[in-house]
Amino acid sequence: MLHPYKFRPIFKTVLWGGDKLSQFKGVDTQLSKVGESWEISGIPGRESIVCGGEDDGLTLRELIARHGAALVGDAVLRRHGTEFPLLVKFIDAHDDLSIQVHPDDKLARRRHGTGGKTEMWYIIDSEPHSHIGVGLNRAITPRDLDRMVADGSIADAIAQHESHADDVFYLPGGRIHTIGAGNLLAEIQQACDITYRVYDFDRRDARGNPRELHTHLAKNAIDYTVHDSYVAHYDRDGQGETTLVQCEHFVVTRAIVDGQLTLAMPQSFMIVMCIDGNVTLTDDAGGTTTMRRGETILVPACRRQLIADGQATLLTTYLPE
């Protein structure tokens, strides 16, 4: 009889990190410059560990090995085995992140023997005049990229979007991007940690060394197509559940809970992230799970109903069928 799981967050300290995540999640940490909280991860070396219950202390991989299809679903188990296919995080950008790109599936398999990195961002909060950089605002070539990185002008070619709470950005592998200072967001992505850093504003690491760039790898990874808009469109006023992003790698919805709401359950596992408020979730086996802002749970595939009760904004994520 499996019920939703909580995991110990993995805090990642980075050059551009801030101090918002501990307050957002309501947890104490002695760490400084925390830029990321990895909520559910199967990445080797940064694997989530179950917090509480009979499976307390198991890694995510061990949890899948123990419960199999009852946890992740038949189709997911056949395709991915004990490897968890998604990685979800909260990100606090106190300073600008580097300009970067991730490989798509085809390139990642050829170069690294793994899947690529398609991701999406949901802006939770942003300081006034904060920006998100996604995509190109003009046509450039790989040769232009080399020149613009060398003279420091590559940032001028990135499409800039003033960011606001509830903005959504979809970033398929190959789309160049950067998160601007002042943004707090949720990130849902493929379980891949491969990043090609294109430009880092000439910053230096804690030892005073220039941060490594991967421009030579990025040149053939970037999708140079210029689009009119890079902001994902959805019904912002929609009540109940609203689909934000649907692609071959994941489906993400926003659920506004105002009293009681029955959440749609997929055939696979489902991840629920609490963006705001407090909620109690009751599953079809009678188990209850409470969530507050900043918490994330993994709902087993064997649970066929989930009723949310409270006042909250949730993000749900699952694999397409």
- Among 43-57, 67-81, 193-207, whose mean pLDDT is lowest? 193-207
Q: Which residues contact 30 (CB under 8 A, 6 or more apart)?
A: none
Q: What is the model's pLDDT at position 316?
A: 98
- For the chain, where are the alpha helices, taking DSSP H only? 20-25, 60-67, 69-72, 74-80, 105-112, 142-151, 215-218
The pLDDT value given to residue 149: 96
Euclidean distance between CA atoms 172 and 221, whole angstroms: 11
Cβ–Cβ < 8 Å for 282, 276: no
The domain limits of the chain are 5-218, 240-318
* CB-CB contact of 72 with 64 (8 Å): yes
Q: What percent of the chain has pLDDT over 90?
A: 94
How does residue 206 score in pLDDT terms, banded at 50, 70 and 90?
Answer: confident
Q: Determine what percent of the chain falls in helix, strand and coil, rounding each to the nearest 5.
A: 15, 40, 40
Q: 214-259 pLDDT, tens per residue?
A: 999 999 999 999 999 999 999 999 899 999 999 999 999 999 999 9
CA–CA dist 284, 126 (Å, integer)? 37
For domain 240-318, say whether CATH 2.60.120.10 is its number.
yes
Whole-angstrom Cα distance, residue 227 to residue 62? 42
> What SS3 class is residue 31?
coil
- How do residues 7-63 score in pLDDT, each as one tens digit? 999 999 999 999 999 999 999 898 999 999 999 999 999 999 999 999 999 999 999
pLDDT band at 204 (very low <50, low <70, confident <90, very high): confident
pLDDT at 209: 85
Task: Go through 228-239 and write b for each residue having 16 or more CB atoms within 10 A of its CB, e for each that does not.
Answer: eebebebeeeee
Distance (Å, whole) CA 64 – CA 81: 8
Q: What is the fold of 5-218?
A: Jelly Rolls (2.60.120)
Whether the pLDDT of residue 208 is over 90: the answer is no
For residue range 129-156, what is the model confidence (pLDDT) as tens digits? 999 999 999 999 999 999 999 999 999 9
Residues 150-167 have a mean pLDDT of 97
- The DSSP line for 35-47 is EEEEEE-EETTEE
Cβ–Cβ contacts within 10 Å for residue 214, how many?
16
The pLDDT of residue 207: 81
pLDDT value at 159 more than 80: yes
Q: Distances from the Cα of 128 to the Cαs of 125, 131, 231, in angstroms? A: 10, 9, 18
Could you give the CA distance from residue 280 to residue 242 in angstroms, rounded to a whole number? 20
Judged against a pLDDT cut of 80, whether residue 287 lies above it is answered with: yes
Q: Which residues pair with 18 in a beta bridge?
A: 34
